[in-house]
Structure 1
Amino acid sequence: MVLTRHLFTFCGALAALSLLGIAALILAQIGLRLMGSQIPSADDFAAWGLSASIFLALPAALLHGDHIRVTSLRQLLPARLGHGADILAAGFATGMMAWVAWAIFGYVAESWTYNDVSQGIVAVPLWIPQSAMVLGSVLFALAFAERTLRLILGLPVERDDISEQARGE
């Protein structure tokens, strides 16, 4: 489970780099437009960077407990029932994300099979930028599976709780 934690954190770093790439692209585009030029297909590259940043950030966000959760009902339940509800919710989310990952993989496989390319000035095989969606969704499903297992075993599920447990606090 330590390996997956590092993998999820690495994906978060890739998401941050993707956002930095978008910022650099926008700044370069502004500068070039002031000089009467532009970057071909800049909008496409920015959109792919945004998609990559969203999908690659999903596992890291779950690891840090940064996803929005509705806890009002959970807080009304006794501890034992609430823990059971957490397990059911994480298990359901695991199944849903596994299905989403499978569907996205099928979508990208079609792009590969049919040699789909972008319609912009720069023809990019679409499976290349779409691969970040596959990676992010597969790792998000894995993160939920790990969360479900940790809940079942009674282990901490979020990074801060795990760090405290490792330090013996």
Structure 2
Amino acid sequence: MRRLLDRLYAAAEFLAAVSLIGVLLTVLLSIVSRQLSFHVSGLDAYAGYLMASAGFFALASTLRHGEHIRVTLVLNALSPNAQRKLDIGAMTVGLAVALSLAIFSSKLVMDSWMFNDISTSNDATPLWIPQLTMAAGNILFVVAFIDLLVARIRGQAMMVDSQEPQRNE
């Protein structure tokens, strides 16, 4: 199960990176097209969709690497048992927030698909397509929270894969 989850997080990292490269390419194409006096409609919208996609796909991996903001000033002042209890409480609240985001973003995708919502810009993209990346990223975020919460309940510390010192004060 651990390998499956790690592969899932790695795939989301890869999709976030590809999305960022897509943002770069759409912005570069927009600049070049302006300089060469031709227009590619919808580039601004696609850059925005790709930026949102990158952010949502990166949520789970960022959580697993311990890179989300944590207030360690309070945690460091507590005993290890109190730290564990506070971590579990905070992760439970985080899981509830992530779960509500996943539910409502999935509902938004379904509504956009059912009502055939399209972008108001020139590209007229069906909105469920870019919204799907938001829902998928939020669902994976829920999975990462459950993964960390179960590990913390079992007594394991927060997983930090990064070789850099944490910058989460």
User: Normalized against structure 2, the TM-score is what?
Assistant: 0.91
Q: Which residue of 1 aligns with 2:8?
A: 7
Q: CA RMSD in A?
A: 1.3
% of aligned pairs identical?
32
Q: Which residue of 2 aligns with 1:125?
A: 126
Cα deviation digits, residues 4-35 of structure 1 (max 9, x gap): 12111210111111011110111111111111
Aligned length: 161
Gaps of at least 5 residues in structure 2 are: 163-169
TM-superposed CA distance for 1:2, in Å, is 2.0
Q: Which residue of 1 aligns with 2:101?
A: 100
Gaps of at least 5 residues in structure 1 are: 162-169
TM-superposed CA distance for 1:160, in Å, is 2.5
TM-superposed CA distance for 1:155, in Å, is 2.8
Match runs of 1:15-164 below 5 Å: 15-160=16-161
Q: Give the Cα separation in 1 of the matches to 2:76 and 2:156.
A: 20
**Quick check: 1:11–1:60 contact (8 Å CA) kept in 2?**
yes
**Quick check: 1:12–1:56 contact (8 Å CA) kept in 2?**
yes
**Quick check: 2:99–2:142 contact (8 Å CA) kept in 1?**
yes
TM-superposed CA distance for 1:53, in Å, is 0.5
- DSSP 3-state at the match of 2:161: helix
- Pick which of 87-96 and 125-134 moved more: 87-96
Q: Give the Cα separation in 1 of the matches to 2:79 and 2:19.
A: 42
Q: Give the Cα separation in 2 of the matches to 1:75 and 1:46.
A: 41
